[in-house]
Amino acid sequence: MNYCRHCGVKLSNDLPYCPLCDMETVKLDDHYDLDYPYIKSRFSRGLMIRIVTFLAVVFAAVSLLINHLVPTDNPWAFITAAAIVYVWFNLLNIIRNTRNPGMLLLCQLLSVSGLLFLIDYLTGWHRWSVNYAIPGLVVAAAVAIVLMIVIKPVKYRAYTIYLLVNAVLGVLSVLLWISGAATVEWPVVTACGTALLCFLAMLVFADRRTRNELHKRFHF
């Protein structure tokens, strides 16, 4: 049985983190006394999210205000605002998903891809983002997820879902080339092939529980 110092509740199982406050629990013997009184931090998760959001809005507004007062042909203010939104988005994910590296990785992939696309568009649309950067990120994400599975095979089923999402992103990168947004074929084909190959390999080596999990989620 475990004990949460923050909530003051006993857990009938051996959960390492409290399901109420998400803080680390301690092992509870037949008799338990606190070694020292617990002092609740004034910086709760909700307060941190509000502080980060407020600072992001302030910095983005200041950048746009300076750009309005001192006009220039360089779109630095919009790039700065986009970078601030990217940092804000990732800080929120870090605060909310401290123990979910797969979700953090996918959020990084999406946010960095969006940021690079916006920078490319604001600086003349040279298509380096859709031709090389985004496909390279898809390949890197697929390899990183496979490495996570090797390191922590206990989360095999969850990482399989992440590989499926990454495979969908790989297919979407090919659609960029088909639609004409991307002009170089081999990077998007490599990204799509790598993402699909990693996902299919997971299906081949997956156990019955993983297949049942996919069937339950997607009904196929």
What residues have CB less than 8 Å from 207, skipping those under 6 apart? 156
CA distance 174 to 196: 12
CA distance 5 to 217: 36
Tell me 4's DSSP state.
E
More confident residue, 194 or 80: 194
What residues have CB less than 8 Å from 83, skipping those under 6 apart? 115
- The model's confidence at residue 98, banded by pLDDT at 50, 70 and 90, is low
Tell me: pLDDT of 157 over 70: no
Which of 3-7, 13-17, 86-90, 153-157 ranks highest by mean pLDDT? 86-90
- Could you read off the pLDDT of 109-149 as tens digits, one per residue? 898 999 999 999 988 899 999 999 999 999 999 988 888 77
CA distance 57 to 94: 19
For residue 3, the surrounding DSSP H or E stretch is strand 2-4
Global pTM?
0.69
